[in-house]
Structure 1
Amino acid sequence: MKFNPNSFSPSHFLWDFADGVATITLNRPDKKNPLTFESYDELRSTFWCLDQSWDVKAVVITGAGGNFCSGGDVHEIIGPLTRMDERGLLKFTRMTGDLVKAMRACPQPIIAAVEGVCAGAGAIMAMASDLRLAAPDAKTAFLFTRVGLSGADMGACAILPRIIGHGRAAELLFTGRSFSAEEGHGWGFWNRITANVLGDAQDLALELAGGPNVAHAVTKKQLDAEWHVPIDEAIEQEAQAQALCMQTNDFRRAFEAFADKRKPEFKGD
C-alpha cells in the first residue's frame, strides 16, 4: 500500500506534512523525549515507508519542549534490556540499527533540528541525518560508555569518523562526554548554529523540497555508496548516476528556464 503522508497518524511521535516537507517531532517533553521499544519501531517503519512517497520531498526531525532526545528511556528500555537473553538483545540492537539504515536509505534529505539534550540514540539520529542544525544550547553526547556499553552502536563507529574525523570520534565514543554546539560546529558535526533552529530547518527543507528531488535522491544515495569504493569506481558510479539525471524532465526544464532567464520549476520527474 502506498504511503500517504496526508493521512499518516503515528502513535509515538507527532507528524506534520505541508508543502512537501514532513516534520517528525519526538513528543515526550517531560522526560526530554526518550525513545521506547515502540517508538524505535515506528520511526524505523516510517523512514522505510518514505521510500514509497515522492510527495514527501524533505524531512525535518526535532523534539518537543526545548530538547531533542535523551536516548533510550531508562525505565522502559534500559531496565528491560538487563533482563533479556542474548537472542532478545540481538533482536533489539538490530532493530535500532535498522532505524539508521532506514534513515540513510530513504531518498529524502533529512534535517535534524536540535535543541537542548541530544544524547545516546538522539545523538545517533542527529548523526544519521543528512544535515544538522543546532540551537546554541544544544548539548550532544554519545554516552554509551557511561552505561557500560561500547561506542559501537547503531553505526556510530562507521559514520561519526566520516563527519568529524577519527580522533575526535574516538574521544567522544570512548569518554561519552558531551560537546557544545560551538565545539560541534567547529568540527563540522553541525552545519549551522541558530537561535531559530526549527524555523531555519523548515526553511531549508522547503528550499530542498523546491529543488530537483530525483537529483537530490541520487546525491544522497551516492554520498553513502561511495564510502565503500575506490575513487575510480566512485567516478564511474557518478557518471552513470548523472547520466540518468540528465534524462529527467527537471533537467530539460532547468535548461529552458536558464535560456529564458527565469527561475526553473522542479517537479521531481
Structure 2
Amino acid sequence: MKYLPGQTHQLPGGRLHLATYEAQHFYFEVADTVATIILNRPERKNPLTFESYAELRDLFRALAYADDVKAIVISGAGENFCSGGDVHEIIGPLTQLDMPGLLSFTRMTGDLVKAMRACPQPIIAAIDGVCAGAGAILALSSDVRFGTARSKTAFLFTRVGLAGCDMGACSILPRLIGQGRASDLLYSGRSMSGEEGERWGFFNRLSSPDDVLSDARQYAKNLAEGPTFAHAMTKKMLQQEWNMGVDEAIEAEAQAQAICMMTNDFHRAYHAFVAKQKPVFEGD
C-alpha cells in the first residue's frame, strides 16, 4: 500500500486511518466516514488487472482496521461498473501459466471475495451498465446492490470455456437469488437485466444512471450514522449462519445480541428514546 506523506494513517493498537490512502489502480476517497472506491478505466469498461485485484484485496483487508471508515461504496467510472478481468492483461497471460501459477491466481481472486466478506463495514455496490465476470462477483460480494434499468449483469465464465464456479459464485449466488435462477445465469453466461435483477433480489433497488452513485452514497452515509458496531455484528452473523442449523443460529444470535447490549450505542438509544430524541450513535 502507498500512503501520502506523513504517519497519521497508523493508529495505536494496529488501527488505521485511511483518509490518506493513495490508491494506485482505482480512485479512492474517504468522506464523512464513507469510503468510495471507483474502478477507473472507463475507456475499457473498468476491467480488472493482476495489480488491481491484489490492491483491492489488500485494501479491503486494511479496511477491517480503519477507524475512520464506517461504510463503503464501490462503483465504476463512466457508464459501466466492471467488465471483469482484462482480456489482454489477464486472460492472455493466463493461457501461458502452468498449474501452480494458475492456482496462485485463482486463489488470489478468491482472497478478494474473502476480504470483502470479512470486512466489517457494509459494502454498497452502485452498478450501472456492464457488470460482468469478476465485476459481477464484486457486486455479488457486496452487502447491498443499487442498479439501474440498463445494468447488464453476466457471470460469463462459461463463455470463455470456464466453469461457473468462480470466486465463490456457486455458493453465494444461489443464496441470493435461488438455486434455479443461479443455475440459469452460471450455465448460460447470459446477461441479467436491471429489472430482472431487482425482481430476483440481486438488486436491492434501481436508480437512474445519474443518481445510482449518489443514492448508494446516501444509503452508506445513513448506515455510517447508525450503530456501526452492531452493523459489523450483523454482517458477521449473516455470513457465519450460512453453515449453521437453526438451533445453532439462534444461540449464536443470542450471544451476539448480548454483546451488543453491552455497547454504549445501546444505552444511548435507550436514553434518547426516553427523552424522545433521535439517538446519536458513535460506534462503541
Smaller-chain TM-score bracket: over 0.9
RMSD: 0.6
CA displacement 1:70-105 (0-9 Å, x = unmatched): 000000000000000000000000000000000000
The one-letter code of the counterpart of 1:268 is G
Aligned residues: 269
Tell me the residue number matched to 1:230: 245
CA displacement 1:217-237 (0-9 Å, x = unmatched): 000000000000100000000
Tell me the residue number matched to 1:60: 73
CA displacement 1:96-152 (0-9 Å, x = unmatched): 000000000000000000000000000000000000000221100000000000000
Cα shift at 1:3: 2.6
Instruction: For residue 22 of structure 2, give the secondary structure of its aligned residue in structure 1.
Output: coil
Tell me the residue number matched to 1:4: 17
1:71 and 1:78 map into 2 onto residues whose CA distance is 10
Tell whether 2:224 aligns with 1:212: no
Tell whether 2:60 aligns with 1:47: yes
Q: Indicate conservation of the 8 Å contact 2:127/2:145, yes or no.
A: yes
Tell me the residue number matched to 1:90: 103
Within-5 A mapping of 1:184-223: 184-195=197-208, 196-223=211-238
Instruction: For residue 149 of structure 2, give the secondary structure of its aligned residue in structure 1.
Output: coil
Q: Which runs of 5+ in 2 are unaligned?
A: 1-9
The one-letter code of the counterpart of 1:243 is A
Identical counterparts, % of pairs: 65
Tell me the residue number matched to 2:118: 105
1:132 and 1:266 map into 2 onto residues whose CA distance is 24
2:156 and 2:51 map into 1 onto residues whose CA distance is 22
Q: Indicate conservation of the 8 Å contact 2:26/2:38, yes or no.
A: yes
Q: Indicate conservation of the 8 Å contact 2:225/2:281, yes or no.
A: yes
Pick from 153, 158, 167 the counterpart of residue 140 of structure 1: 153
Tell whether 2:39 aligns with 1:26: yes
Cα shift at 1:255: 0.1
Structure 1 runs (4+) deviating above 4 angstroms are none
1:66 and 1:261 map into 2 onto residues whose CA distance is 44
1:55 and 1:230 map into 2 onto residues whose CA distance is 36
TM-score, structure 1 normalization: 0.99
TM-score, structure 2 normalization: 0.94
Q: Which runs of 5+ in 1 are unaligned?
A: none
The one-letter code of the counterpart of 1:178 is S
